[in-house]
Amino acid sequence: MEEIPKFVTTIVEYVSTWGLRVVGAIVLLIVGRMVAGWAKKAMVKALGKTRVDQTLVPFVSGMGYYLVIAFVVIAVMGLFGIPTASFVAVLGAAGLAVGLALQGTLSNFAAGVMLLLLRPFRVGDLVEIGGELGII
């Protein structure tokens, strides 16, 4: 008969320890997602007021959104006691490996972003490239 109270106290102990962390993690995820959404809307609004090309706005705001979400996920992992410094180091190393593997593709992507930022031409402009005449 004494095993039941011991079992109950063990369950209560685990629930009080991990239950609050789980509730805190859920609240942090919900609030973090809301903040990421607000940040995305703020970026869209701010970029809409600048001279940044409109094709670049969804990309930049989406990157900002996912950056905030990544920070929130790392914060939740820290809430559960997972060492976040080593996790961030692994993410950095993985990012470096992917960047080196896709070096040619990323350079072309960066060139496209630079074209959009510097805007030597706009949508509707008439251009001649390689002897071909066309409208952008």
**Residue 3, pLDDT score:** 64
> pTM of the full predicted structure?
0.67
34 belongs to a structural domain: yes
86 belongs to a structural domain: no
19 belongs to a structural domain: yes
76 belongs to a structural domain: yes
The type of residue at 12 is: V
Q: Which domain holds residue 58?
A: 3-80
Region 5-15: mean pLDDT is 80
**Residue 53, pLDDT score:** 74
**Residue 31, pLDDT score:** 95
Region 120-131: mean pLDDT is 81
54 belongs to a structural domain: yes
The type of residue at 50 is: T
Higher-confidence residue of 122 and 97: namely 97
33 belongs to a structural domain: yes
130 belongs to a structural domain: no
Total domains present in the chain: 1
**Residue 4, pLDDT score:** 67
Is the predicted pLDDT of residue 1 greater than 60, yes or no?
Answer: no
For the chain, percent helix, then strand, then coil, each to nearest 5? 75, 5, 20
- Residue 68 vs residues 13, 80, 118: alpha-carbon distances, Å: 33, 19, 27
Q: Give the total residue count for the chain.
A: 136
